Amino acid sequence: MAAAIVGTGSYLPQRAVSNRELEKIMDTTDEWIKSRTGIEQRHIAVEETTDSMSVEAAKRAMENAGATAEEIGLIIVGTVSGDMCFPSTACRVQSAIGAKKAVAFDINAACSGFLFGLILADNYIKAGQADTALVVGAETLSKMMDWDDRGTCVLFGDGAGAAVIKRKPEGILSYVQGSDGSRGDALFCQNRPVKNPFVDNKAAFSLDYAHMNGQEVFKFAVRTVPEAINEALGQAGMLPEQVKYFVLHQANIRIIEAIAKKLGQPIKKFPTNLQKCGNISAGSVPILLDEMNRKGELQKGDKIVLAGFGAGLTWGAAALVW
Ligand code: COA
């Protein structure tokens, strides 16, 4: 018995912002962004929130799967940009869709959030603790960017993707996960400082924004992700040649090209949407998966690899049969 993805959904904010538009508000160029990252535009939340996008993506995934709210026993949202510190985005999704029987919680694994959620759902299902799970990756990263930091803010976008996971004879075959907290400084955003009547902290409270050492993150991804993918493939008894698609976290086209080269696989097996979406952290993989699913690019029996990587540092790869 295994757990399989049986439906997908996604939501992107209405407002698309091109590189040319960014040229007007900061010292950057379309050429710099495109040549360094492949990104041409991103969607930015104006009316939307992490909650609203998660709920919409979840509803679309349930409709695609033919799943009812009553049958969902587990809701996991991977996010670092929830609307509330608490309750969790997952509890808000539960309430909005009326999944009364579900246990719901968020996980913070940054850009690996959807992969980690999927792996957790796989374990719940295999352990008999749930039959049907909803896994969402959702981010409103635009609110966490320092829009004066051109080296970081141009890379990210907002959106949400979701998948319904069910107990099935075949599905997720293997996975690999890893974390290296000692390298957390490469990509971080601080939460509230400790401030209470018992602390001598006169500093005015201000919210932090995302900080990134781009080159460190780049090196980490290119080294770690192919290793994780090869390990997951080895565990599944699968060769890279047998994989139809490698659906990777959409951080940067140069990272994806370098990973394809290391795996010795043609770039056409690595679908991308980063050109129009940018990096949506936990949302990247499920949004791309949903696009592919709705275009009919995923056929029953196809062998697929999913991989995520990002802040933590964290990484994960899963081999599955569609
Ligand atoms: N527009 C124009 N110039 C920019 C710029 C922008 N948006 N951002 C940075 N620059 C400038 C820098 O100021 C620097 O100028 P200088 O040489 O005069 O000092 C120059 O471009 C090179 O900067 P650098 O940071 O060395 O560029 P890079 O080649 O490393 O590319 C990244 C930067 C961020 C594109 C690259 O490191 C990268 O893709 N890293 C991975 C990031 C990532 O994917 N993070 C998320 C993972 S989940």
DSSP string, 207-261: ----EE-HHHHHHHHHHHHHHHHHHHHHHHT--GGG-SEEEE--S-HHHHHHHHH
From 19, 64, 279, 293, the catalytic residue:
279
Is the preceding peptide bond at 313 cis, omega within 30 degrees of 0? Answer: yes
Which pLDDT score, from 0 to 100, does residue 193 have? 84
pLDDT tens-place values along the chain, 322 residues long:
899 999 999 999 999 999 999 999 999 999 999 999 999 999 999 999 999 999 999 999 999 999 999 999 999 999 999 999 999 999 999 999 999 999 999 999 999 999 999 999 999 999 999 999 999 999 999 999 999 999 999 999 999 999 999 999 999 999 999 999 999 999 999 998 888 888 887 776 778 899 999 999 999 999 999 999 999 999 999 999 999 999 999 999 999 999 999 999 999 999 999 999 999 999 999 999 999 999 999 999 999 999 999 999 999 999 999 9
**Separation of CA 258 and ligand 1 centre (Å):** 17
Which pTM was predicted? 0.96
Does residue 145 have its Cβ closer than 6 Å to ligand 1? no
From 91, 111, 153, 277, the catalytic residue:
111
SS3 274: helix
Which ligand 1 atom is the nearest neighbour of the CA of 150? 7
What's CA 42's distance to the chain center, in Å? 15
Cβ 277 vs Cβ 293: under 8 Å: no
The first and second tokens of residue 83, run together, are: 């609307």
Does residue 36 have its Cβ closer than 6 Å to ligand 1? yes
Question: For residue 182, which amino acid is it?
Answer: S
Q: Whose CA is nearest to atom 40 of ligand 1?
A: 214
111 is catalytic: yes
CA distance 20 to 16: 11
Q: Whose CA is nearest to atom 44 of ligand 1?
A: 251
To test the pocket of ligand 1, the residue of 26, 215, 257, 314 to mutate (highest count of ligand atoms within 8 Å of its CB) is 215
Which ligand 1 atom is the nearest neighbour of the CA of 212? 45
Does residue 273 have its Cβ closer than 6 Å to ligand 1? no
Which pLDDT score, from 0 to 100, does residue 199 have? 85
Residue at token pair 């902290």: 201
Which pLDDT score, from 0 to 100, does residue 103 have? 98
| Closest-CA residue to 270 (of 216, 315, 225, 314) | 225
Which pLDDT score, from 0 to 100, does residue 196 have? 84
To test the pocket of ligand 1, the residue of 20, 212, 218 to mutate (highest count of ligand atoms within 8 Å of its CB) is 218
Which pLDDT score, from 0 to 100, does residue 194 have? 84
Which pLDDT score, from 0 to 100, does residue 206 have? 73
**Separation of CA 155 and ligand 1 centre (Å):** 10
Residue 159 DSSP symbol: E
